[in-house]
Structure 1
Amino acid sequence: MRKICLVIAYEGTDYVGWQYQPNGLSVQQCVEEALQKLTGHNCTVYSAGRTDAGVHALGMVCHFSTARDLPLSAWREGMNSFLPAAIAVRSAREVDESFHARFSATGKHYRYTLLCDPVRSPLERRTSWQLKSDIDLIRMRVAAAAFIGCHDFRAFRTTGCSAETTVREIFSVTLTQQGALVYIDIEGSGFLKNMIRMMVGTLVDIGRGKRPVDDIVKMLHSPGSVGPALTAPAHGLCLMQVYY
């Protein structure tokens, strides 16, 4: 048996997320169906994590085991011939038996995109959260520094999160602006359900002047001492890379 690792990109608008769900089509289902057509047998795909409905990915990592002896180029080109236009295998490599897409990962990089423009953008509408007024990036950068390091992020998870511990380490939070677009890049060891969207929502509220800059410190050290985090829309979020 061979173990193959794929890096997959997808535009998540029309999917219920990465993982199988009873209420619609998932990215995982599309990938496994394409593998079945390519190999002639069912393959279970194990991913680096889950993305929610509407969230996108440039670098989702997954692995599967197969007895088929195909060249690596065939895994990419063959898979892409069976996948819908919104999903694509970017690369394929063979890994040793000890590799696991989820448990071998050491960190992830997510990017959230804001569109600061009073006029909607037909080209950016599926991949950014439109804010119809400017935001104060200086306030947001000052506030974002509080996220860096190991903290208890219980105030930044949604109801139904099943994580055993709410402590996570954030490596970096970077805000950059290119024209009307603002990119919030967050790198960390791992994330709770909706954690990044709630981090972004809180930063946006601070940038709009709706929260004081020190609210993040209070939320991390005294959960419940201030109002709950705003959850940013799913469609502005993209999984950029998984680190190993």
Structure 2
Amino acid sequence: MTKKVVLVVEYDGSAYKGWQSQKFGVPSVQEKIETALSVIANHDVKVICAGRTDSGVHASAQVIHFETPVERSVRSWTLGTNTHLPPDISIVAASYVAEDFHARFSALSRRYRYVIYQSALRPAVLAKGVTWTYKELDAGAMAEAASVFLGTHDFTSFRAVGCQANTPVRTILNFSVHQFGQYIVLDVRANAFLHHMIRNFAGVLMAIGAGEKPVAWAKEVLDAKDRCKGGITAPPFGLYFVDAEYPPAFNVPKLPLGPHFLPYVEELPYVEEALSSVDKVISC
């Protein structure tokens, strides 16, 4: 009889060509995790994730599941697996879940944070863990602009040209902008995301924050439904998959919101509960 295991994974995506396993010799996070789990399980393991990340993108709480006929302790699935993983990938939580759980299809929402570091000179620490800009950004203007993305829209202007999603329509449940000293953090929760969607949000909002475009430009780009109207795609370095939400009955492990170098912020209400009162947060 097989059992289903859910793991929460943290990784630095700098050295990998994204989450998904690719042809032999192309480094991926999935391939590293499957190889390590196969040692602990003593059989080939294939995993499914809540949301695939691109080359150079990180995660503080990626959720994955796999099936196995063997019984192992949570300690084995975490500490044991970590002994076979490189230092830039870590299993940070594990549990057994019901047979009808699915890391991708059971998810109610997914959440990313995009971390921007403002400084006149480039950083050395976290050089590929944040997106650096030498420009001074107005976080208030960025928050005001981001509010137009809340709700259900056609996000054609914010999807990659090669995006393979069947529809460009997505629902943004929360979109807040926080400032912590030299960090500006875009915090986005949605039912699902399009390819490069958050990096394209970041490109538009950074242009607005730098005063290169007016706040109203965000709505103009959204309404255009044309990727060519959307400006640059921001780099992948500051992007983190930070949460996937599931029905409470599944008891998926829940961790503090990452990445861990950022301070705690109070959670915002869901947009569908109170769309008219969603906060645009600027914390200093």
Moved more, 118-127 or 104-113: 118-127
Residue 226 of structure 1: CA displacement? Answer: 7.4
Question: Which residue of 2 is the match for residue 6 of structure 1?
Answer: 7
What is the alpha-carbon distance in structure 1 between the residues aligned to residue 220 and residue 171 of structure 2?
17
What is the one-letter code of the residue matched to 1:126?
K
| In structure 2, distance between residues paired with 1:155 and 1:87 | 33
* Counterpart position of 2:273: none
The unaligned stretches of length 5 or more in structure 1 are none
Alpha-carbon offset, residue 181 of structure 1: 1.1
1:174 aligned to 2:191? no
| Aligned partner of residue 14 in structure 2, secondary structure | helix
1:1-244 matched pairs, under 5 angstroms: 1-22=2-23, 24-224=26-226, 227-244=229-246
Cα distance, 1:220 vs structure 2: 2.0
- Give yes or no for contact 1:218–1:225 (8 Å, CA) kept in 2: no
CA distance in 1, matches of 2:151, 2:56: 28
In proportion to residue count, which structure has more strand? 1
Contact 2:49 2:104 in 1 (8 A): yes
**Aligned-residue CA RMSD (Å):** 1.3
Q: Name the amino acid aligned to 1:161.
A: C
> Percent identity over the alignment?
37
Q: Which of 216-225 and 231-240 deviates more? A: 216-225
Q: Which amino acid aligns with 2:91?
A: V
Tell whether the 8 Å contact from 1:6 to 1:92 is kept in structure 2 after alignment.
yes
The 8 Å contact of residues 107 and 189 in structure 1, kept in 2 or not, is answered as yes
SS in 1 for 2:242: strand
Q: Which amino acid in 1 is paired with 2:17?
A: V
Which shows bigger deviation, 55-64 or 181-190?
A: 181-190
Q: Distance in 2 between matches of 1:243 and 1:225?
A: 29
TM-score (norm 2): 0.83
Uncovered stretches (5+) of structure 2, i.e. residues with no partner: 247-284
How many Å apart are 1:225 and its aligned residue?
9.5
Q: 1:225 to 1:38 in 2, by over 3 A?
A: closer
Give how far 1:116 is off. 0.6
Distance 2:105 2:228 in 1: 35
- Give 4+ residue runs of structure 1 displaced > 4 Å after superposition: none
- Residue by residue over 1:110-164, the C-alpha shift from the partner in whole angstroms, topping out at 9 and shown as x without a partner, is 1111111012221121111111020111211111100111111011011211101
